[in-house]
Every structure is written in structure tokens, then in C-alpha cells.
């Protein structure tokens, strides 16, 4: 997905923010974390390696009909944001206990987060085909309910 239109971008961003706002105070994020979220959002929205596009194309029709593509893209990005928060917390805890953090350990962190988040998001939308409660929950946090 090389380029997305403004409406798609807005819908994906709104979905991601709505989901994360249930867990994180999105309006009160520290500047550094907001920058990391924005960077990850742009990277995953651009989908330069076409992982999201491929995953979406490979979904069974019964799964892809459950949510608009832009909302599912936002769902996936929110999953990545939440994983980034967890990893950021782990890094901060390590920094407190061990001043010498091995930077090599965190190289490619966005790629690992993206891969894990996409796998988890696909698993959830597939499961939502037969789990109405999960589907309703997903639609509610995205803001579609």
C-alpha cells in the first residue's frame, strides 16, 4: 500500500487512537512517546513492505467483511502501539536497574512489533467470525458500535 487517501488515514488513525485511549491517556502522552507512536503509525500505515496488504488480501472473506479495511488497519496499528508501550516500559525498567543497555537488543524493534501485532490482529479478526462478543468488543473500541 504505497499511498492512502486522507479519509483512509483519518479512519485508521481514529481507530488506533480510540483503541489505545481505553488503556493509555493518549492526550497526555510524553513528547518522546508521542513521537514514537507517530513514527510507528506512519511506518505501518505506509506498509512499504506490503505485509498488511498481503495479510488483508489473505483473510477469508468472512473475516474481511467484519470491519472496513481502514478500521482493521487502525486496529493493527493500535496493537503495535500497545506492544511498543510494553517494550518501552521494559526498557525504562532495565535502564533504572542497569545503566548499560545493550542497544543491539533493540535494533529492528519496530519490525518485530509490527510482525507480532499483525499476527495477533489477524488471529483476532479470524476468531471474531465465530465469537460475536469479540467482534462487538472490537467494533466498540474502534468506535464503530
Tell me the domain boundaries of the chain.
6-142
Q: Which three cell numbers stand for residue 31?
A: 513528547
DSSP letter (8 states) at residue 59: S
Task: Indicate the range of 3-12, 36-45, 100-109 predicted with least confidence.
Answer: 100-109
Residue 25 pLDDT greater than 90, yes or no: no
Q: Which three cell numbers stand for residue 8?
A: 483512509
Q: What is the pLDDT of residue 105?
A: 55
- Contact in structure between 74 and 13 (CB atoms under 8 Å): yes
Q: What is the pLDDT of residue 4?
A: 79
Q: What is the pLDDT of residue 97?
A: 53
Q: Across the chain, which distance is largest between two alpha carbons, in Å? A: 50
Neighbour count for residue 77 (Cβ, 10 Å): 29
The pTM (predicted TM-score) of the whole model is 0.86
d(CA 135, CA 142): 11
Percent of the chain scored above 70 by pLDDT? 86
What pLDDT, in 10s, does the model give residues 42-75? 999 999 999 999 999 999 999 999 999 999 999 9
d(CA 49, CA 25): 31
Q: Which superfamily is assigned to 6-142 in CATH?
A: Sama2622-like (1.10.3440.10)
Amino acid at each position: 500500500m504505497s499511498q492512502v487517501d486522507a479519509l483512509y488515514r483519518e479512519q485508521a488513525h481514529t481507530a488506533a487512537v480510540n483503541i489505545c485511549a481505553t488503556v493509555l491517556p493518549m492526550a497526555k502522552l510524553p513528547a518522546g512517546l508521542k513521537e514514537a507512536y507517530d513514527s510507528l503509525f506512519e511506518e505501518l500505515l505506509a506498509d512499504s513492505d506490503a505485509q498488511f496488504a498481503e495479510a488483508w488480501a489473505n483473510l477469508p472473506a468472512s473475516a474481511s467483511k467484519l470491519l472496513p479495511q481502514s478500521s482493521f488497519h487502525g486496529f493493527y496499528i493500535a496493537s503495535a502501539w500497545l506492544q511498543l508501550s510494553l517494550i518501552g516500559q521494559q526498557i525504562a525498567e532495565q535502564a533504572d536497574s542497569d545503566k548499560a543497555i545493550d542497544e543491539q537488543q533493540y535494533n529492528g524493534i519496530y519490525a518485530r512489533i509490527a510482525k507480532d501485532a499483525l499476527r495477533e490482529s489477524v488471529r483476532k479478526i479470524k476468531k471474531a467470525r465465530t465469537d460475536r462478543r469479540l467482534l462487538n468488543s472490537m467494533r466498540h473500541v474502534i468506535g464503530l458500535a
